[in-house]
Structure formats: C-alpha cells, structure tokens
Amino acid sequence: MRNEQHHKGWNEIKTNDSWAIFKIMSEFVNGFEKMSRIGPCVSVFGSARTKPGTEYYELTTRVASKIVEHGYGVITGGGPGIMEAGNKGAHLAEGTSVGLNIELPFEQHFNPYIDSDKNIQFDYFFVRKVIFVKYSQGFVVMPGGFGTLDELFEAITLIQTNKIDKFPIILVGSSFWSGLFDWIKATLLEKFATISEKDLDLVKIVDHEDEVIEILNDFYQRYELSPNF
C-alpha cells in the first residue's frame, strides 16, 4: 500500500513537470511577441529596496531619462526601488518604458511608470532572464543584491563565451562596484588566472549619467544599432 502511494505521488510529480513545459512555452511566446514589437532598449538593474529620494534612486531616474533622450527604450524588472526609478526616468522623458515583472518577496507589485502595453508578467526566472538578454542593447547596473549580481555575471559569461554578441555593460557607482572588481582582478586574474585580462574589458564602471550615454553612443557608433533578434 505504501509503495502504491509512493508511486502514485511520483507519477503526479512527473505529470505536473510535463504540463509545466507548456506554461514555460507560453511565457516565452508571450514575451517574444510583445518584445519583438519594441525598438532597441537598454536594461536597467538594481536593488528593489532602494527608496525614492536616495542617491541611487535619483541617479537611476536621471540615467533612464538620458537613455530615452538618446533614442533607446528602458527595460527593468518592473518592481520597486531601482526598477521603479528606471521606469520613472523613461516615463518622464516620454520614452519606451518596459517592465518584466516577477512575483518576489520585495517585488510583489509592478510600479506605476511602466507603459500599460509593456508590462509583462513572468513566473519563471530563467524565461525572464532570456528576455532581458535577447532584447537589450546594453545593461546599466546600479547597486543591488544577489539578483542584480546574477544578471550581471550571466551577461558577462554569455559574452565571454560568445553565446551572445557583445554589448555595453555599465556599472554605475564606483564606491559600490570597485571593491568587487578589485577582488576579481587580484584573485581571479592575477592570483588564480581563472579569467583573462580581456574579460575585464567587458565591464565599465562610472559615476555619472553622462558617462553612461557616452559609453552607449560610442559603442553604437562603431556597431550598427539594431534589435538583438
């Protein structure tokens, strides 16, 4: 009897796993269809915990407005904090403001600055991450936590291994990022040689919104600006 219950429970898990494939497919299809109608965009990442009025919230708003003023749209994770600031900056500059929202403890609702037709909901992190990379012409990374680091290092890895075309990865806030990249240089590059020196060239660290635009525009003066798809 116990074995029968065990096998029944295992079979139910396998059936649920099989049906999950269709839900995953539907998220990809919905994301691809909506994003394919949007022009070139830059993704803005950072902490959901950053409060309005703080240094990096206000800087993110200015960065996003500058991005829009120079012909790009803005994509964020759709939640509060840095994401809200990114969408707010795009909205204030009357540009494209996209939110790829997922339900998390600190991101339980989308922010009000996303274009109504560009608010896309996800249940699966990995689907959302594919959309971020596929439809971004650059990553602007503000101070954040594990999720921000996850997005950053996945993008670096994909470019490093030639799985995607190179695009600008810009870290904003030298006081936040410099310690991490000093460690990467001293430990990964010089002590253990687990990366090459050219890998460090994939990332730029800046402090001002004008520097973000300068890097984006310089990159796309050398390479044709077009969607990644």
The CATH code of the domain that includes 202 is 3.40.50.450
Beta bridge partners of 206: 172
Do the domain assignments include residue 55? Answer: yes
Provide the pLDDT for residue 105: 66
Do the domain assignments include residue 29? Answer: yes
CB burial of 23-42 (b: ≥16 within 10 Å; e: otherwise) equals: eeeebeeebeebbeebebbb
Rounded to whole angstroms, the Cα distance separating 173 from 56 reads 8
Domain extent, residue 119, equals: 2-222
Provide the pLDDT for residue 223: 79
pLDDT digits (tens, 9 = 90+) for 14-30: 567 888 999 999 999 99
pTM value? 0.91
Do the domain assignments include residue 228? Answer: no
Nearest to 156 by CA among 146, 144, 171, 143: 171
Do the domain assignments include residue 162? Answer: yes
Provide the pLDDT for residue 229: 40
Q: How many domains does the chain have?
A: 1
Residue 18: both structure tokens together: 């099989």
Do the domain assignments include residue 227? Answer: no
Give the E-state strand segments of 143-210 in sequence order.
169-172, 203-206
Do the domain assignments include residue 229? Answer: no
> How far apart, in Å, are the Cα atoms of 207 and each of 55, 140, 177, 210?
11, 12, 10, 9
Residues lower than pLDDT 70 in the chain: 1-15, 105-108, 224-229
Rounded to whole angstroms, the Cα distance separating 78 from 216 reads 22
